[in-house]
Amino acid sequence: MAVRNPLESIRGAIIAGVILTAVLYVIAARLLS
Amino acid sequence: MDLTLALARWVHLLAGVMWLGLLYYFNFVQVPALQAAAADGTAAGIVRHVAPRALFYFRWSSVVTWLAGAVLLGNQFVPAFALAKGMAAIGVGAWLGTIMLFNVWVLIWPNQRKVLGLVSATDEEKNHSRRVALLVSRINLTLSIPMLFFMGGGWSHRALFGL
């Protein structure tokens, strides 16, 4: 069975967006400190 | 100069609302609607009358949003994109918005032109283009979440960014 790209679902895209926000925040916060 | 910045912010927000509104329309409404319409043979009206209009405002509002944002950054444009000290938050937002603009014009629009029949393409090419356009549209939905977090920060984010 083929693996489905999680971004194909809206839920997957939103979850990925929230996770990406957290990751970028950690990076940006380090740059700001 | 202050008036220019005020107008740039206003235009940036207006065009940005249109851009993201249409992005969310595609992801939350049109794509599922087309799947349902394809099942009962009523997709032609959406493809012919709705999608081209939505894509027109979608792609041009992305340009206006970016240009107004560039005016708004002014002489902070380079420091923002270089993620200079104190500019990391808006800089990350600006990078995400720029990637989204690239996706609209380089990946989504050329593939949508094939899907909508504005340029000739075989059925196989159309199916490939449909998948690419969908995935990139989903990626832009994903990127819009951190983009708005970083761009819409301001004073409400001072606890997060120590402004």
Cβ–Cβ below 8 Å for B149 and A10: no
Partner residue facing B139 (CB), from A7, A18, A27: A7
Interface test with B, best of A3, A8, A10, A30 (most B CBs within 10 A): A10
Q: Which residues of chain B have pLDDT under 70?
A: 1, 154-163
Which DSSP letter does residue A23 get?
Answer: H
Q: How many CB atoms lie within 10 A of CB B163?
A: 13
Size of interface A-B (CB pairs under 8 A): 61
Distances (CA, A) of B43 to A10, A12, B123: 21, 26, 16
**Cα Rg for chain B, rounded, in angstroms?**
18
CA gap B140, B96 in Å, rounded: 9
Q: Looking at CA atoms only, how far is residue A26 from chain B in angstroms? A: 10
Cβ–Cβ below 8 Å for A13 and B89: no
CA gap A8, B147 in Å, rounded: 20
Exposed / middle / buried, residue B91 (Cβ in 10 Å: 0-12, 13-18, 19+): buried
Q: What does the pLDDT read at residue A2?
A: 62
Q: What does the pLDDT read at residue B163?
A: 44
Q: What does the pLDDT read at residue B2?
A: 87
**Residues of chain B in Cβ contact (below 8 Å) with chain A:** 27-28, 83, 85-86, 88-89, 92, 134-135, 138-139, 141-146, 149-150, 160-162
Contacts of A14 in chain B (CB under 8 A): 141-142, 145
Per-position b or e across B77-87, b if 16+ CB within 10 A of its CB? bebbbebeebb
> Does position A14 have pLDDT exceeding 90, yes or no?
yes
Look at residue B35 and give its three-state secondary structure: helix
Are B138 and A8 in contact, with CB atoms under 8 Å apart? yes
Give B155's Cβ-side CA count (13 Å radius).
0
| Interface ipTM > 0.90 | no
Cβ–Cβ below 8 Å for A14 and B135: no
Q: What is the pLDDT of residues B60-69, one digit of tens each?
A: 999 999 999 9
Which region, left, alpha or beta, applies to residue A3 given φ > 0 means left and ψ of -120 to 50 means alpha?
beta
CA gap B140, B103 in Å, rounded: 8
Give B82's Cβ-side CA count (13 Å radius).
7
